[in-house]
Amino acid sequence: MTEKRIVCVTGASGYIGSWLVKRLLERGYHVRAAVRDPGNERKVKNLLELPNASAHLSLWKADLTEESSYDDAVQGCHGVFHVATPMELLYHDEPAENEDIESTTVNGILSIMRSCTKAKTVKRFIYTSSTGTVIMQRQPPLHEYTEELWSDLDFCNETKMFAWTYVVAKTTAEKAAWKYAEENGINMVTIHPSLVLGQSVTLQRSFSTDAATALYTQDEANIALLKKLHNSSAVHVDDVCNAHIYLFEHPLAKGRYICSTHIFDIFEIGRSLSHKYPDKNIPTEFEGLEESPKIIPCSSKKLIGLGFEFAHKNKDVGDLCAETIEWCRVKGLL
């Protein structure tokens, strides 16, 4: 690589963001990690200790709730990876702080895109969306979920299914972002991971770690969460982050890309983890849940068609959870 390539990652202290920073540094990028509190040692220590960080990583203070907050971090960047989202929404059944959905998620992404417009240096804007913006359908497809689908927000508002406020926020934000991109000539590509599993860099717990470690810790609230995720889809964090970089670098990347490889089957996870941790009495039966009902997968064909290869697709979903558990154990997060 001859040219100095500078990119900004929002949500860099989070579960996905921190692993993305690690992979970008390994590829020789100069990374501007945008975090809310660069002085919070617990949130940034592991980023600063990454290989190549001393010469290629800088921390920038920015917040989605403040207009123009990302201007400085984005100025001079060739790429922006917008990963940050308030994930608390996933734990709410009711939108107690409904105004946050609009102000933080929607205005947040538009504010960062305005920073890109002002900078005039950004060649591509990669947004970490979610399969949540695709799969909430009144009439699900027969065979698979694809990028042409948008979650039905009327259906979400009527049924108030699990994580519906998060789905509404992410879908509304993504639609607003596509409109802004079209009107202002921003080269945007969106990536749609399903539930992300595996080890990371951050020293914070997250939605992913709560889900992946639930059967191991047997935390009641997290098992309840896990049961709601039964038969959804999942993917390894390393595949997700490599796909972000692939979509940033590929000249023909365009539009939305689902990134998903596994079925998140709680029975399979229970059996796999009970073999790995025989002394832990991991549950393998789950009242009220059906084993092997009809599953509609999220299709990553578009991403694979662009040439991306999933390195972790052949692991079983229990292995993905076990990787998260081992990392959490080593880092003292359990």
Which residues would be at the binding site for ligand NAP (CB under 6 A)?
11, 13-17, 35-37, 43, 63-65, 83-87, 104, 128, 130, 170, 193, 195-196, 206-208
Nearer to ligand NAP, 306 or 333 (CB): 333
Nearer to ligand NAP, 120 or 125 (CB): 125
Closest distance to ligand NAP from the beta carbon of 91 (Å): 11
CA distances from 90 to 170, 246, 305 (A): 11, 28, 31
Alpha-helical runs (H) found in the chain:
15-26, 41-48, 53-56, 71-74, 98-100, 107-119, 132-135, 153-159, 164-184, 207-217, 220-229, 237-249, 266-276, 301-305, 317-330
Closest distance to ligand NAP from the beta carbon of 212 (Å): 9
Nearer to ligand NAP, 41 or 290 (CB): 41
Q: What's the start-to-end Cα distance of the chain, in Å?
A: 40
Closest distance to ligand NAP from the beta carbon of 43 (Å): 5
Within a 13 Å sphere around the CA of 238, how many CA atoms are in the beta-carbon half? 12
Closest distance to ligand NAP from the beta carbon of 3 (Å): 28
- Give the integer Cα–Cα distance in Å for 299 and 179: 25
Nearer to ligand NAP, 5 or 262 (CB): 262
Closest distance to ligand NAP from the beta carbon of 194 (Å): 6
Closest distance to ligand NAP from the beta carbon of 99 (Å): 13
Structure tokens at 45: 């220590």
Sign of CA dihedral 44, 48, 53, 54: positive
- Give the integer Cα–Cα distance in Å for 271 and 280: 12
Which residue is closest to ligand NAP by CB? 14
Nearer to ligand NAP, 46 or 85 (CB): 85
Nearer to ligand NAP, 76 or 86 (CB): 86
Q: Residue 11: which residues within 8 A CB-CB, separation 6 or more? A: 17, 34, 35, 82, 83, 84, 85, 128
- Identify the residue whose tokens are 């001859």: 2
- With 0-12 / 13-18 / 19 or more C-beta atoms within 10 angstroms meaning exposed / middle / buried, residue 11 is buried
Closest distance to ligand NAP from the beta carbon of 279 (Å): 28
Q: Residue 172: which residues within 8 A CB-CB, separation 6 or more? A: 101, 102, 105, 106, 153
Closest distance to ligand NAP from the beta carbon of 4 (Å): 25
Nearer to ligand NAP, 150 or 284 (CB): 150
Nearer to ligand NAP, 161 or 290 (CB): 161
Nearer to ligand NAP, 202 or 272 (CB): 202
- Give the integer Cα–Cα distance in Å for 90 and 197: 16
Classified as helix, coil or strand, 105 is helix
Closest distance to ligand NAP from the beta carbon of 72 (Å): 14
